[in-house]
Amino acid sequence: MSHSLDPEDWQAFRARARDMLDTLIDRMEDYSDGPVWTSPDGYEPKLDTAVLGQGAVRTDQALLELMQYGVGNTHPRFLGWVHGAGTPSGLIADMLAATMNANCGGRKTGAIRIERAVIDWALATFGLPETGSGLITSGTSMATVIALKCARDSRLGFENRKTGHEGQGLVGYTSSHAHSCLDRAFDMLGLGGDALRKIPATPDGRMNQDLLAEAIRCDRQAGLTPFVICGTAGTVNRGAIDHLSDLADLCRREDIWFHVDAAFAAALQLSETHKDKLNGLSRSDSIAFDFHKWMQVNYDAGCVLIRDEDSHRRTFSDRPDYLADMGRGLGSDMPWPVDYGPELSRGFRAVKIWAQLIEHGPEKLGAVVDANIEQARYLATQIKNTPTLELLSYDDLNICCFRYVGDQVETDLDSLNQELVIQLQESGLAAPSTTRIDGKLAIRVNITNHRTQTEDMDVLLDAILRIGRRI
């Protein structure tokens, strides 16, 4: 009996794959139709003896049943969490990746060269030196861990990788509006979240630089070691962008690593109209961002860029015998991705980014950015012109937070707006998310979606007013 898992009948496999492809493209053609989101209540996809080992037909039935219960981000009115919509052409790159089935931890392969090409493009695009380095990650969360480990180890000396960092008193700084992945990175790296000082923001949502300078002074006086300032380009709630140039100046003066979390707003760099907002980003020591957000690459595809390749490599490289450099053959062509990050096993994420850039190009991706910003502007204007709605924050980017206030004064507006957003999601009409702005529960609209049209804002507002009145 053969132990091969290849199809016994390749013709049948070909027909099966074609059928599946056709059905999937049907679905893609309908991305803008139907409900944004369908609740998976009652969907229990257990792996029990009734399904295990049941063959191709059962598998494909199961896959197609699953398909309806997605996140919703392929729909033009998924307007909540910062997810990109992806592209149909991403399917082509993913098909190629599945066929190659490459492990991209290392080895001398074309796959690794594709990743280098993407990193080189990103370094040039963000104005970092071509001698810099980088890595494709699952997302900004992992990119942040990698960048902050570089900052940590560069400060302590790379021997701390062996000895640990007890008693060193490392502290870092970020805005109180920064993303929670920074706290989590401090936790991961053994520094503890408290060692990341949360500097209050000025009313425009940017880190208060006077308070930052003061915090650094106090920490130095207390005998602690400031080692990193984490600027934010695009806060989650408002899209605010810190004063990156000023932070770069401060970091140079204080000899501190300058990291920037540009998770979604990195895409502004592709817009001729809006790239100025990122002034100063090119002076950072490291940048973490996502291709799968505003650049519309399929999940998952994040990236970390590091100005100083030597620091990056010495933060991660570590070669046991079975990974020694062979000079030629499969075991050569170093450094490898495993020299730049924690993963030895890693899929071929780079190819869909590379293909997206070849097919659509930075200009077309930048046009999505421009359009989404225009749509948010339109939405903010409509909200201002609607007495039953209250605009809570809008900063001329792609994010808009507001709430339904109706015409009653005493209502518990937090509960009302929370219920409103849930009913909106359950209706399938649109999916904004919620957050809190100055303590108030807000409907949060974030537009990072190439399928979204201005009319979708009208559909959204009509639904909100209708549901709000009903509640």
Scanning residues 373 to 402, which ones bind a second copy (CB under 8 A)? none
CB 296 to a second copy: min, Å: 6
Tell me which of 12, 66, 218, 471 binds a second copy, using CB under 8 A: 66
Q: Is 47 a binder of a second copy (CB under 8 A)? A: yes
403 pairs with which residues across the strands?
A: 390
Q: Residues with Cβ < 8 Å from 433, sequence gap 6 or more?
A: 80, 81, 421, 444, 446
First to last CA, the chain: 65
What kind and span of H or E run contains 100? helix 88-100
Nearer to a second copy, 11 or 385 (CB): 11
Phi, psi of 286 (to 5 degrees): -155, 150
CB 252 to a second copy: min, Å: 27
Tell me which of 35, 176, 184, 465 binds a second copy, using CB under 8 A: 184
Nearer to a second copy, 248 or 431 (CB): 431
The interface mask with a second copy, positions 92-131, x = CB under 8 A, is xxxxxxxxxxxxxx-xxxxx-xx--xx-xx----------
Q: Is 267 a binder of a second copy (CB under 8 A)? A: no
**Interacting span for a second copy (CB under 8 A) from 197-205, 273-281, 404-412, 433-441:** 433-441
Tell me which of 34, 129, 157, 192 binds a second copy, using CB under 8 A: 192
Q: Is 149 a binder of a second copy (CB under 8 A)? A: yes
Amino acid at 241: I
Q: Is 13 a binder of a second copy (CB under 8 A)? A: yes
CB 277 to a second copy: min, Å: 19
Q: Is 22 a binder of a second copy (CB under 8 A)? A: yes
Nearer to a second copy, 140 or 250 (CB): 140
Angle at 401 between CA 399 and CA 403, to 5 degrees: 155
Binding positions for a second copy, 406-425, rule CB under 8 A: 418, 421-422, 425
Tell me which long-range contacts 95-103 makes (C-beta under 8 A, separation of at least 24): 96/351, 96/355, 97/347, 97/348, 97/351, 97/352, 100/348, 100/351, 102/347, 102/348, 103/345, 103/346, 103/347
Of 325, 465, 316, 317, the residue nearest 405 (C-alpha): 465
Angle at 391 between CA 385 and CA 397, to 5 degrees: 100
CA-CA distance, 123 to 128, in Å (whole number)? Answer: 5
CA torsion sign for 353, 357, 363, 368 is negative
Q: Is 200 a binder of a second copy (CB under 8 A)? A: no
CB 121 to a second copy: min, Å: 4
CA-CA distance, 142 to 138, in Å (whole number)? Answer: 7
Nearer to a second copy, 63 or 384 (CB): 63
CA-CA distance, 92 to 88, in Å (whole number)? Answer: 8
CA-CA distance, 399 to 393, in Å (whole number)? Answer: 8
CB 304 to a second copy: min, Å: 13
Q: Is 280 a binder of a second copy (CB under 8 A)? A: no
Tell me which of 12, 34, 39, 220 binds a second copy, using CB under 8 A: 39
Q: Is 357 a binder of a second copy (CB under 8 A)? A: yes
Residues present in the chain in total: 471
CB 199 to a second copy: min, Å: 17
Tell me which of 246, 249, 254, 370 binds a second copy, using CB under 8 A: 370
Binding positions for a second copy, 216-235, rule CB under 8 A: none
CA torsion sign for 150, 156, 161, 164 is negative
Q: Is 24 a binder of a second copy (CB under 8 A)? A: yes
**Interacting span for a second copy (CB under 8 A) from 127-135, 252-260, 366-374, 383-391:** 366-374
Contact 39, 426 (CB under 8 A): yes
Tell me which of 194, 396, 412, 462 binds a second copy, using CB under 8 A: 194
Q: Is 40 a binder of a second copy (CB under 8 A)? A: yes
CA-CA distance, 125 to 99, in Å (whole number)? Answer: 30
Three-state DSSP state, 87? coil
